[in-house]
Amino acid sequence: MGTDLNAPLGQNRKAASGRVKSSRVSAARAAVAVAGVCVLGLSLWTALAPSGNLITPEKTAPSEAPASEKVATAEAGEPEAAAGVRRQRGQSGANIEETRTADGTLVRKFTPKDRGDGGPLILDASRVGQDPRFAALPNEDLLETTAHGKLPVIGPDGLRPVEQYARPWSGARGTRIAIVVGGLGLSQTGTQRAIRDLPGEVTLAFASTGNSLSRWMQEARRDGHEILLQVPLEPFDDPDNDPGPHTLRTDVSAKRNLDELHRAMGQITNYTGVMNFMGGRFLSSADALEPVMRDIADRGLLFLDDGTSAQSLSGTVAGALEMPHAFADLQLDSALSRDAILRKLDELERVARRNGTAIGVASAFDESVQAIADWTQEAAQRGIEIVGVAALVDPNPKQ
């Protein structure tokens, strides 16, 4: 009665069955743990191995180092490396230099790969005009110090002020117009308004007899304007219409006129050329004009003739000297009213569409500045490009 023979099937066997099951589960868990340790160990070995992505100095007995690491190897074209150093290229673009020290430590050194011809291109900014951030500052290589101040000169590498200070333009051969507004520096309010209201595409001409020229020049350059220097020349009706005490005249020596020219040139910097202020008589005298034009040409500047004198010889002299030169096509504000100036600007546009280019000149009167500012905005919508005057001069005119 007390034996298992009288017990129902399976009764009193839970404890034994449970012990067997527990031992089986424990064995399975142990197998999984061992497998996990093996996988983890293999992963760590792979990560820490010399060929892995995690690079750390490692120690190896010198006798166990492969022969390929004891002798330097290099890519074709590289100089032979020192013994014990191996150089290779990394996929990141770096050069990797491996050195085996005396105690077996492997040390890697990373340096940037040589870019060769495919690297960044360094441009000489002096050849493509001034950086706008520094447009108010002169290029010191294009200046010489004289008794009259700093005067423009051609640089040691042949760079000329007419190139350095020219306003960049698109290069397209469409209809192009240059507008030059002169007389800046003679009136403070007029100068301030012209610089403030005229777009940077308009060229500004500063009178050499004006006031605060250096200040106004810097402000104009910061706003993107190309600038010219206006020099007073003797008119036909002098002294009834006297341009001032520093006028270049036909009845004085060439040396005297050059002294006056240099005095005027020393008032400001960063200009592309010289423009006449009046000067009908002077421009018609070859003897008086030639030394002055030659000095302007030798300094790498252009000459703009305002076109008011039919007897001007500036084009002939410029052709003989092969210097940059241009004539203005129209005086825009001979009649000082907004409507009259706008009609002249429309006429200038017709000239430009017929010839491809045109140059108009005006003075910094309020009516002129406002009309030009309004018209230039409309002209851009009609496909006309307003450019600095240096873009329209003949760089090497011939007779």
**Structural domain contains residue 247:** yes
Residue position matching structure tokens 């309004």? 374
Instruction: Answer yes or no: do 224 and 94 share one domain.
Output: no
Write the pLDDT tens digit of every residue in 151-205.
999 999 999 999 999 999 998 889 999 999 999 999 999 999 999 999 999 999 9
**Structural domain contains residue 376:** yes
**Structural domain contains residue 106:** yes
**Structural domain contains residue 366:** yes
Q: Residue 239, preceding bond cis, omega within 30 degrees?
A: yes
Residue 66 identity:
P
Domain that holds residue 91: 58-114
Q: Is the pTM of this model over 0.75?
A: no
pLDDT at 89 over 80: no
What's the CATH code of the domain at 349? 3.20.20.370
Alpha helices in the chain (DSSP H): 14-48, 67-70, 161-164, 188-197, 213-222, 254-265, 280-283, 286-298, 314-321, 338-355, 366-381
**Structural domain contains residue 356:** yes
Instruction: Answer yes or no: do 384 and 338 share one domain.
Output: yes
| CA atoms of 148 and 150, how far apart (whole Å) | 7
Instruction: Please state the φ and ψ torsions of residue 278, each to the nearest 5 degrees.
Output: 65, -150
Instruction: Answer yes or no: do 185 and 136 share one domain.
Output: yes
Instruction: Answer yes or no: do 98 and 203 share one domain.
Output: no
Instruction: Answer yes or no: do 89 and 146 share one domain.
Output: no
Provide the number of structural domains found in the chain.
Answer: 2
Instruction: Answer yes or no: do 149 and 211 share one domain.
Output: yes
Instruction: Answer yes or no: do 107 and 228 share one domain.
Output: no
Instruction: Answer yes or no: do 233 and 280 share one domain.
Output: yes
* Residue 369 buriedness (CB in 10 A; 0-12 / 13-18 / 19+): buried
Beta-sheet pairing, 149-152 with 143-146: antiparallel
Instruction: Answer yes or no: do 174 and 97 share one domain.
Output: no
* Residue 277 buriedness (CB in 10 A; 0-12 / 13-18 / 19+): buried
Instruction: Answer yes or no: do 193 and 62 share one domain.
Output: no
**Structural domain contains residue 19:** no
Write the pLDDT tens digit of every residue in 314-354.
999 999 999 999 999 999 999 999 999 999 999 999 999 99
| CA atoms of 331 and 314, how far apart (whole Å) | 18
